[in-house]
Amino acid sequence: MKYWQKARNYRKYEREDGMFVYIITVDGEDVEVSAEVYQAYSQADRRERYQAERDAGLVLSLNKLAEDEMQLSYLTDRHIESAEDATVLNVMAEQLRSVLHLLEADEMDLILCLYTKGVSIREYARQKGLSDFAIRHRERKVLIKLKKLLGK
């Protein structure tokens, strides 16, 4: 058993029938949970231990991660964008801003609602008294128009 496993409050047992039982100790009581809950809990625990080790100045190797049965993707829950990607996105956003004023009012409303306000096509169609198909068709036409205005 590894050093960190002794102090953890979750464990997995194999029953005699070959099925696994997943246990998390909460306030001193063992609670049986699903495999999904157990996995999410153990991943969060591993992330926390990794952060503590990193903050303490310890360096973890890929071998250590493999030994702990930890996938590299579990250590972070967010994507860190490269400077190049951020620059390209900023240039593209600026190009888009430069041509948006060329859209008609109803086209601009459609783009703003669907892409910045998070309104679904179904909800937008209901607001406008049109079918989903009609809104999708208009959206496609506006996107084609924007593409032409951008010279793509």
Rounded mean pLDDT, 58-67: 62
pLDDT (tens digit, 9 = 90+) per residue, 124-137? 999 999 999 999 99
pLDDT at position 123 is: 93
pLDDT (tens digit, 9 = 90+) per residue, 72-127? 555 555 555 667 877 888 888 888 888 988 999 999 999 989 988 889 999 999 99
With 90 as the cut, is the pLDDT of residue 57 above it? Answer: no
**Most confident range, picked from 11-25, 39-53, 133-147:** 133-147
DSSP β-bridge partners for residue 21: 13
pTM assigned to the model: 0.46
What domains are defined for the chain? 3-75 (no CATH), 83-149 (1.10.10.10)
pLDDT at position 80 is: 59
With 70 as the cut, is the pLDDT of residue 18 above it? Answer: yes
Strand order in the sheet with 20-26: 10-14, 20-26, 29-33
| pLDDT tier at 20, thresholds 50, 70, 90 | confident
Q: Under 8 Å CB-to-CB from 29, ≥6 apart: which residues?
A: none
C-alpha span between 131 and 19 (Å, rounded): 50
